[in-house]
């Protein structure tokens, strides 16, 4: 029996993967000396906040995919016992993006959570998981609706350089990925071994092959700690909503 085809561990909680191998280049200077998952929000590393949320919502096993400054992440989190979790690690020999690292993990339950290591949210992960199981299909993406306003006049220009349309400071309603997912084990059949393969590659592959992709719409709090302004806003937000980091 292949390792990925092992039956689920009956009686155990949920399994999760945290993707924590990125360099956090966009978040400098905060990531000049530490990896992004260890930057603090309300005096707690963002990855610890995520681990606490996972534990609260039924996760008991977490596999962390590491690369950049992996030793620091492993030193802080250790085996997970101080969080009431069983934490294991896989180290990418070369950067494999956001989905490629999953092929380094030995075994999976039939369904498992996957999350970026820099997300701050009050999303109920158990509800997301149950939604995925009930809907069927290999992938469910937690999504958030965002309104983006462009602070400029936007012109539409044809190939001859003629203006064909104009909008003054338009707004766009977007449905964006929150960086939190539920995968079924079967999705790994679409992921190449040892190659750089991101979430964008996975989405395009599944769409091309006609696979079912579910969207779990969430209208609560969500912040991707990817840029300095997002990080600073998150620290302001937790002053008024301390439950985000408990």
Positions marked active-site: 169
Quote the CA–CA distance of 230 and 120 in Å, as a whole number.
Answer: 10
Backbone angles phi, psi at 141, to 5 degrees: -110, 125
8 A C-beta contact, residue 27 and residue 226: yes
What is the C-alpha to C-alpha distance for residues 50 and 22, in angstroms, rounded to an integer?
16
Element (H, E) at 202: helix 199-208
Helix (H/G/I), strand (E/B), else coil: 88: strand
Cα(205)–Cα(215) distance, integer angstroms: 17
HSE-CB at 4 with a 13 A cutoff on CA atoms is 13
CB atoms within 10 A of CB 220: 10
CB-based contact 121:149 (threshold 8 Å): no
Phi-psi region for residue 24, left (φ > 0), alpha (ψ -120 to 50) or beta? left
């Amino acid at each position: 029996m292949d390792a990925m085809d092992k039956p689920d561990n009956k009686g155990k909680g949920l399994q999760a993967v945290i993707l924590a191998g990125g360099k956090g280049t966009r978040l400098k200077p905060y990531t000049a000396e530490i990896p992004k998952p260890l930057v603090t929000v309300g005096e707690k590393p963002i990855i610890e906040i995520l681990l606490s949320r996972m534990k609260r919502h039924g996760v008991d096993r977490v596999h962390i995919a590491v690369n950049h400054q992996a030793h620091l992440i492993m030193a802080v989190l250790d085996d997970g016992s101080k969080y009431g979790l069983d934490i294991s690690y896989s180290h990418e020999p070369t950067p494999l993006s956001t989905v490629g690292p999953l092929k380094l993990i030995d075994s999976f339950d039939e369904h498992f959570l996957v999350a970026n290591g820099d997300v701050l949210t009050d999303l109920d992960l158990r509800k997301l998981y149950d939604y995925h199981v009930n809907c069927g299909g290999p992938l469910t993406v937690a999504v958030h609706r965002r309104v983006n306003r462009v602070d400029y006049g936007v012109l539409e220009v044809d190939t001859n350089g003629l203006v064909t349309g104009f909008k003054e400071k338009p707004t766009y309603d977007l449905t964006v990925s929150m960086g939190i997912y539920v995968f079924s084990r079967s999705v790994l059949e679409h992921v190449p071994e040892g190659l750089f393969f991101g979430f964008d590659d996975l989405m395009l592959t599944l769409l091309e092959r006609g696979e079912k992709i579910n969207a779990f719409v969430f209208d609560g709090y969500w912040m991707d700690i990817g840029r300095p302004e997002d990080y600073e806003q998150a620290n302001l937000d937790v002053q008024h909503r301390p439950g985000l980091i408990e």
